[in-house]
Structure 1
Amino acid sequence: MKRILLSLFALVVFGSVHAKTITLTVKTTRRQTVTGFGAACCDGAMRPYGTDKKPAQLLYGPTSKVGLNILRVEISPSFNGDDGASWGSTYNWEGGVPSAQVVKQRGGIVFGTPWSPPGDFKTNGTAQGGNSEDQGWQRGELREDCYEKFFPWLNSYLKYMKSRGVKVDAVSVQNEPDWWVNYSGCLYTPQQQLNLVKNYAHMLDRETYSGVRLISAEPLGFDPRYSNMLLNDKTAREQIDIIAGHIYGHAPLLNGNLKDAAVLAAKYGKEVWMTEHSSTDNIGERLPTWHEQLLFAEELNECMLAGCTGYIYWYMRAHWAFVSTGEAKYGAANKTKNRLLPRAYVMSHFAKNVTGSTRLETSLDMTSGTEAAREYSAYIKDDSLLIVMAIDTTAENSTLRLRLPYNVKGGKHILSTGNETTELCQESEIVLEEPTKTFLVDMPARSLNTYVLVIDKESTAIAAPEMATTKSAKSQFYDLQGRPMPEPRGLCIERRADGTSRKVYLGPRGRAISVK
């Protein structure tokens, strides 16, 4: 690891030879706590990996190079786990089990999403969406007389996964309820989803499957009408734990859908997960350029600025994703199957450093738009680390003047500047002569930067946000890896109804003591 010694004199000289100095002020105002990052257990034609555990082994866990901790698995339209029906032997609940086992063994979160309930429950009599001539152009919807069967069906999925050693952490209502497809799919209007959740979600067996959470339907472009209708109804709101959606055609800050949904979710203490998006999946027979990788990093950053607590990419394995497919036509780096691609290292900047942290406001937070020349965000973790993310897509080297809310005594700079292994996740130690709140760091052209800074607690007092000292009925509790704690005790993270978080110690009577 390189060492960078930053004295006040050296900083002045260092800054003078750079064409541009940018000041970033990190504030004390706390926003959402980030549960984590992940991807879906499928590739090709949405096929689960079956016995091929290599993608999950490469990507998940604190000892991996990437550090993902959330896995999305399809709940296929089956009535039991090994029923392939017409979908093929791997298109069943068993298909995702081996990868899910890896993720759970490594302390991760597993959630299931149905693309369609069983065809017997639907208006068109099939799991297919109905949007084709051979499917009769018949819209596939959940029959009203089968609403009462939906959550018991999810319970059967939870039972099967538990029997295979996988404790599922959450289940979703539906993948893309607003997108009429000719593959597995089911349509819901916002009102239909409300009726289903309000009147029948109490049938989700949270007693047998302790800690399981319910995720809202995941609309294609994060249409806030779906989540807002749930959250504005008290009965439905009490059943929903996580608001979710995708960002196809709707950048996190540009069109406002995700950001708008997150505002109401934060009001009621709900998490917000972006549960599917694929970046540059239409580039043809080549690998993403470095500029396209930086735009992916900006997408991650913009989701955080919009209020996301979780970000889940689409396929784990694809030439536009994290793990190579073994197809040489996409480039030399993809020739050998099951190796990490550059995008995995880009994701690791966030997954390995931002997971479990709480976002802090900065003076340069984007509030609208997308794909800016430079983007920033900042986080605090365990009141001991400050993390600053900086993305520069320009051809100009810059100097970043950090103005921090607390004294720091050093840290490290993680730098990625290109698609080659030697250009990804280079670490340099930042050594300060004395604790300080203000100093300069290098921000090279076309770079992704993570500055991990150690707070000097001896010279800095971190004021706890004003909050109740006892457990609130609306608070949710998580362990330090971001996993839900249905019966919280000991050291944990409390996420309150206003969206802010703190680290607490819960005593035997549930009294919350703030931990600095």
Structure 2
Amino acid sequence: WTLTWSYSAGQTVTQAWNTTLTQSGAAVTAKNVSYNGAVATNGTVAFGFNGSWTGSNPAPTSFAVNGVTCTGNTAPTTPPTVSPTTTPTTAPAAPDITVNSATRYQTIDGFGAAVSIWGSAWSTAETQTLVGLGANQFGLSIVRTGISPVSGEWPTQVNALKTAKSYGSGVKILASPWTAPAEWKTNNSRINGGKLKTDYYDDYANHLNSYVQYMRDQGVPIDVTSVQNEPDWHPAYDSMDWSGTELRNFVRDQGAKVTNTKLMVAEAVNLNYGYTDPTLNDTTARTNTGYIGGHLYGTEARAGWRRTP
């Protein structure tokens, strides 16, 4: 299937999942991916996307599926004239799945959830429900938290993270920054991307290290510290722009300053390897890196998986 529509106010699609989506000027085309191309009678299929705009964001006024304008009418234009001559007498056999437990490809550290990046922290009861191993508890083993550019906000999550560490079983904490302080950035703002000025690379490394040591002093060891949340996504909220080369340079030259944790690169949208390969292909940068990361957002639908260097 192919779904098409047009925008009237300059809106652009920035990422998508469960579809192959392209845009040419105002015209947007969304096509099926390998696993959702067949839609049964009265069936549905869903996909999603994020976009950006400036000024206004009016909804599209017309859509077309496979070249036919959508009118809301579900009746076929030409009723079928021939009924099936035979009816299948046996249901298709269930597929056989063989799991070879002796062959292992990777180790899954765990499954987790993120605390609210802005606003209040989890309560003690909420945290225990999420990480506990008892009845009606989730047993999560990874908790992701944000690193505010304002150190005075760091205490907000301490109690929740401390509870997660003490109440759960082997819970790991992943801390991710959305932005550096505004005055260290090329756009002098916490929002809308903007790059970290190169002469503040050392200050940023010390900022991340200060957070890790502060949390450590509060009884919350930070297992993994990300350099940047979604370096390729620049919305009108806390964000910061990096290239893969800039991330490599930062980790190579400043990564060793962030201690008592393992650094992660780079949490890019759609698990974009262009943001991790430069680091992995540099001996010093790779030595300073403990994890690589990415946000999937339909990566598997795009057949985007491949081995890392």
TM-score class, shorter-chain normalisation, is: 0.5 to 0.7
**What are the residue-to-residue correspondences of 1:180-329 with 2, within 5 Å?**
180-205=234-259, 209=260, 212-248=261-297, 250-252=298-300, 254-257=301-304, 259-260=305-306, 263-264=307-308
Q: Is the 8 A contact 1:173 1:214 kept in 2?
A: yes
Q: Pick one of 130, 149, 152 that aligns with 1:77.
A: 149
Offset, 1:196: 0.8
List structure 1 segments (4+ residues) > 6 angstroms apart after TM superposition. Answer: none
Q: Pick one of 94, 102, 107 that aligns with 1:21.
A: 94
Equivalent residue letter for 1:264 = T
1:352-400 superposed Cα distances (whole Å, 9 cap, x missing partner): xxxxxxxxxxxxxxxxxxxxxxxxxxxxxxxxxxxxxxxxxxxxxxxxx
**What are the residue-to-residue correspondences of 1:49-448 with 2, within 5 Å?**
49-50=120-121, 52-63=123-134, 65-78=137-150, 80=151, 83=152, 92-105=153-166, 106=168, 107-129=170-192, 139-205=193-259, 209=260, 212-248=261-297, 250-252=298-300, 254-257=301-304, 259-260=305-306, 263-264=307-308
- Helix, strand or coil at the partner of 1:93: helix
- Helix, strand or coil at the partner of 2:209: helix
Offset, 1:47: 2.4
Residues 1:47 and 2:118 aligned together: yes
**What are the residue-to-residue correspondences of 1:494-513 with 2, within 5 Å?**
none
Q: 1:30 to 1:185 in 2, by over 3 A?
A: same
Offset, 1:18: 8.1
Offset, 1:256: 3.4
1:487-515 superposed Cα distances (whole Å, 9 cap, x missing partner): xxxxxxxxxxxxxxxxxxxxxxxxxxxxx
Q: Is the 8 A contact 1:121 1:142 kept in 2?
A: yes
Q: CA separation in 1, counterparts of 2:182 and 2:240?
A: 10
Segments of structure 1 that go 5 or more residues without pairing to the other structure are 1-16, 84-91, 130-138, 266-516
Q: Is the 8 A contact 1:41 1:48 kept in 2?
A: no
Segments of structure 2 that go 5 or more residues without pairing to the other structure are 1-89
Offset, 1:220: 1.4
Larger Rg: 2
Q: CA separation in 1, counterparts of 2:120 and 2:249?
A: 35
Equivalent residue letter for 1:25 = T
Q: CA separation in 2, counterparts of 1:251 and 1:228?
A: 17
Equivalent residue letter for 2:145 = V
Q: Is the 8 A contact 1:73 1:111 kept in 2?
A: yes
Offset, 1:224: 0.7
RMSD: 1.9
Q: CA separation in 2, counterparts of 1:100 and 1:110?
A: 8
Q: Is the 8 A contact 2:191 2:234 kept in 1?
A: no
Q: 1:72 to 1:48 in 2, by over 3 A?
A: farther
Q: Is the 8 A contact 2:265 2:293 kept in 1?
A: yes
Q: 1:204 to 1:25 in 2, by over 3 A?
A: same
Q: Is the 8 A contact 1:40 1:71 kept in 2?
A: yes
Q: CA separation in 1, counterparts of 2:189 and 2:274?
A: 27
- Helix, strand or coil at the partner of 1:198: helix
Equivalent residue letter for 1:255 = R
Offset, 1:25: 1.6
Q: Is the 8 A contact 1:61 1:108 kept in 2?
A: no
Q: Is the 8 A contact 2:233 2:269 kept in 1?
A: yes
Q: CA separation in 1, counterparts of 2:94 and 2:187?
A: 61
**What are the residue-to-residue correspondences of 1:457-472 with 2, within 5 Å?**
none
Equivalent residue letter for 2:183 = D
Equivalent residue letter for 2:253 = N
Q: CA separation in 2, counterparts of 1:54 and 1:264?
A: 39
Q: CA separation in 2, counterparts of 1:49 and 1:97?
A: 11
Aligned length: 216
Offset, 1:51: 6.1
Q: Is the 8 A contact 1:110 1:168 kept in 2?
A: yes
Which has the larger strand fraction?
1
Q: Is the 8 A contact 2:132 2:139 kept in 1?
A: yes
1:315-336 superposed Cα distances (whole Å, 9 cap, x missing partner): xxxxxxxxxxxxxxxxxxxxxx
Q: CA separation in 1, counterparts of 2:121 and 2:288?
A: 32
Offset, 1:57: 1.4
- Helix, strand or coil at the partner of 1:36: coil
Equivalent residue letter for 2:284 = T
Q: Is the 8 A contact 1:61 1:69 kept in 2?
A: no
Q: 1:143 to 1:63 in 2, by over 3 A?
A: same
Which residue of structure 1 aligns with residue 48 of structure 2?
none
Of all paired residues, the percent bearing the same amino acid is 32
- Structure with more relative contact order (C-alpha pairs < 8 Å, separation 6 or more): 1
1:208-236 superposed Cα distances (whole Å, 9 cap, x missing partner): x2xx1111121111101111111111111
Q: TM-score, normalised by structure 2?
A: 0.65
Q: TM-score, normalised by structure 1?
A: 0.40
Equivalent residue letter for 1:256 = A
Offset, 1:180: 1.3
Which residue of structure 1 aligns with residue 29 of structure 2?
none
1:36-86 superposed Cα distances (whole Å, 9 cap, x missing partner): 0001101xxx424336233321111333631100000000111x2xx2xxx
- Helix, strand or coil at the partner of 1:31: coil
Equivalent residue letter for 1:95 = T
Q: CA separation in 2, counterparts of 1:256 and 1:56?
A: 35
Equivalent residue letter for 1:241 = G
Which residue of structure 2 aligns with residue 89 of structure 1?
none
Q: CA separation in 2, counterparts of 1:221 and 1:21?
A: 33
